[in-house]
Amino acid sequence: MPRVARKISMTKVYHIILRGNDRQDIFFEDQDYKKFLRLIIITKEKYQYEIYAYCLMTNHVHLIIYDKNSQISRIMQSIEISYSNYFAKKYDRNGHLFQNRFISKNVETENYLRRLCRYIHQNPLKAKISITEDYKWSSYNEFIYQSKIISSQLILSMFGQTKKEAVKNFIQFHNDVINEMNEEIEYEGISKLTDEQLEEKIKRILQLKQIQEIYMLDRNTRNEKICLLKNIQGTSKVQLARVLGMNRKMLERIMKRT
């Protein structure tokens, strides 16, 4: 299947997601994280791009990149190849380290950029690895103290006119955990199902001829069956509720019971 050309961002700002192949770990120890960050510094100088935020997790990476010279593919190819070679040599491993091509999402508004920055920094918190401010491998503390890799001025300027005011508001903003944003961004990072594809998958999982048959079941049986749908990849609760013909809040209440 031919590759689809990436849509160019009008702002030249991209949310980049890089995952380990089959979700395998790509970082085993501190030296691995440090190596990846050094590669960012090296490629920043070579390709003249800026990093607005980042978070390195065990099996994936989030970056917000300002690609002013429109070289995002070259940038990521350079990082992926260099790190893959390092990893293969160090751990004596063969095969692809990363999953297919990197995922890129255009960042077109300031509001989305602010929320995306928070989402990225909250990854360790959501994974129950660390609280946001204690995690070593994200850019969060570069905003609070001293920028080493990122360009923090643009995002901080959205939170206040002075550095002190901006940092205070930045911290307060990051203390809010917004689940809807988490779902929205994570949904963007996987292959999406159309409503028709999702409907067929639901009927197959629940062994139904028509979606409406689920409402002919008693309440407990219906809820048990709906809970079987929570791990479907390529959909969101918004889409799932729409295809089921159900109120989203009701769907969320049912799924939280298990």
What pTM does this model have? 0.70
Cα–Cα distance measured from residue 64 to residue 70, given in angstroms and rounded to the nearest whole number:
14
CA distances from 212 to 105, 144, 159 (A): 35, 52, 48
Worst-scoring range by mean pLDDT, 12-16, 224-228, 253-257? 253-257
217 and 167 in one domain?
no
Q: Among candidates 184, 160, 183, 187, which has minimal Cα distance to 171?
A: 160
**Across 206-231, average pLDDT:** 85
Classify each residue of 131-157 as buried b or exposed e, where b means 16 or more C-beta atoms within 10 Å of its C-beta: ebeebebbbbbbbbeeeebbbbeebbe
Q: Looking at 153, 187, 221, which one is the last position of a domain?
A: 187
Q: Looking at 139, 160, 187, which one is the last position of a domain?
A: 187
55 and 140 in one domain?
yes
Does residue 152 lie in a domain region?
yes
| CB of 214 closer than 8 Å to CB of 226 | yes
Cα–Cα distance measured from residue 68 to residue 64, given in angstroms and rounded to the nearest whole number:
13
Domain containing 163 — which CATH number? Answer: 3.30.70.1290
Burial grade of 24 (CB within 10 A; 0-12, 13-18, 19 or more): middle
Backbone phi, then psi, for 234, in 5-degree steps?
95, 15
Does residue 151 lie in a domain region?
yes
Does residue 3 lie in a domain region?
no
Cα–Cα distance measured from residue 3 to residue 120, given in angstroms and rounded to the nearest whole number:
27
Structure-token pair, residue 165: 């005011």
**Across 12-38, average pLDDT:** 94
177 and 109 in one domain?
yes
Contacts of residue 132, Cβ cutoff 8 Å, sequence gap at least 6: 121, 122, 124, 125, 138, 140, 174
Greater confidence (187 vs 122) lies with: 122
State residue 145's pLDDT score.
Answer: 94
pLDDT 10s digits, 142-177: 999 999 999 999 999 999 999 999 999 999 999 987
Q: Among candidates 135, 243, 251, 125, which has minimal Cα distance to 193?
A: 243
| CB of 27 closer than 8 Å to CB of 124 | no
State residue 88's pLDDT score.
Answer: 94
Q: Looking at 135, 158, 187, which one is the last position of a domain?
A: 187
Cα–Cα distance measured from residue 65 to residue 48, given in angstroms and rounded to the nearest whole number:
11
Cα–Cα distance measured from residue 52 to residue 114, given in angstroms and rounded to the nearest whole number:
10
Helix/strand/coil (H/E/C) assignment for every residue in 134-159: HCCCECHHHHHCCCCCCCCHHHHHCC
154, 185, 171, 148: CA torsion to nearest 10: -50
pLDDT 10s digits, 183-200: 555 545 455 677 888 888
